[in-house]
Amino acid sequence: MTNVDVEKKTIVPVIVAGDPSLKRTTEQIIALGQAGATLVAVSVPFSDPVGDGPVIQAADVRALDNGTNLAGVFAAIAQARAETDVAIQLTLYANVAYKYGDTAFAEKCAALGITDVLVLDLPSQEDDPLPAALRAAGVNLVAVVTTNSLHTVAPLVADAAHFIFVMPIPGSNSGAIADQLRLLVPEIRQHTDLPIIAEIGLPDVPIPAAILAAVDGVYLDTVFPAAASAGSEKLSALFQKLTA
């Protein structure tokens, strides 16, 4: 089960699979687990990452140029699993899972101990087979709340597990993110006691206190990918600095 520590702010490091190589992805997962991460988010590169910022987009290009695909990502995670039991979230666009096959994708995630799947562009779940496949396999489909869903939070979080993921408006600065969290978090709290993790696409550390005060943890999808080329030891040191 995903471990979100509500007594201490959870830092979720995000790495882009295949950047700079799948071998390094395996090393990064292991190193971050050893550094104390309770959840590592592995982002699957996509050719049209419209929901991501420039750092992730550039990392996706490098990874795809290296020939990275979902099968390779699964293989890298499998190798990491031999040395770490850290919880892993897979972040991807829906077409990547559809192409692999809904049931096959969900069962593979379960076999690798992937606890959570975040689909960045999942369409209406009523007619989509992927949520049911993940549920049948025992893998959590992460509940996502945005400013556009402020008035529909209740159904979005009704079947949520592990945590709620808040996605601010892409490109927001720290002040705008804090403002959005002040709007969204109280509404979410009315409908669930689950921990709230906010996506933070800011390039710098430390994380602003106003953001940390609003949520139970942060999902850092810029800081870690920007440092990936420096090696797994650099990522470990960065994680430890953020959690000191």
Whether 201 maps to a domain, the answer reads yes
pLDDT at position 220: 94
CA–CA distances in Å: residue 165 to residues 62, 120, 168, 232: 27, 11, 10, 26
Q: What is the CA radius of gyration of the chain?
A: 17
pLDDT at position 109: 98
pLDDT band at 203 (very low <50, low <70, confident <90, very high): confident
| Count: domains in the chain | 1
How do residues 57-71 score in pLDDT, each as one tens digit?
Answer: 999 999 999 999 999
Whether 2 maps to a domain, the answer reads no
pLDDT band at 206 (very low <50, low <70, confident <90, very high): confident
Beta bridge partners of 118: 91
Integer distance in angstroms from the first to the last C-alpha of the chain? 24
Structural domain of 85: 10-236
% of the chain exceeding 70 in pLDDT = 95
Whether 117 maps to a domain, the answer reads yes
Q: Is 199 helix (H, G, I), strand (E, B) or coil?
A: strand
Q: Per-residue pLDDT for 54 more than 60?
A: yes
- Dihedral sign from CA coordinates of 5, 7, 8, 9: positive
Per-residue pLDDT averaged across 190-210, rounded? 91
Whether 167 maps to a domain, the answer reads yes
How do residues 160-179 score in pLDDT, each as one tens digit?
Answer: 999 999 999 888 999 999 99
Q: Per-residue pLDDT for 52 more than 80?
A: no
Cα(123)–Cα(94) distance, integer angstroms: 8
Whether 124 maps to a domain, the answer reads yes
pLDDT at position 122: 83
Whether 226 maps to a domain, the answer reads yes
Per-residue pLDDT averaged across 88-112, rounded? 96
Whether 4 maps to a domain, the answer reads no
pLDDT at position 48: 82
pLDDT at position 197: 97
Whether 243 maps to a domain, the answer reads no
Q: Per-residue pLDDT for 51 more than 80?
A: no
How do residues 104-133 score in pLDDT, each as one tens digit?
Answer: 999 999 999 999 999 988 876 667 899 999
pLDDT at position 163: 96
Per-residue pLDDT averaged across 202-231, rounded? 90
% of the chain exceeding 90 in pLDDT = 78
pLDDT band at 5 (very low <50, low <70, confident <90, very high): low
pLDDT at position 124: 60
Per-residue pLDDT averaged across 51-62, rounded? 87
Per-residue pLDDT averaged across 92-105, rounded? 95
∠ CA 227-181-15, nearest 5°, is 20
Task: Tell me the pLDDT of the chain averaged across its residues.
Answer: 92
For residue 172, give the CATH number of its domain: 3.20.20.70
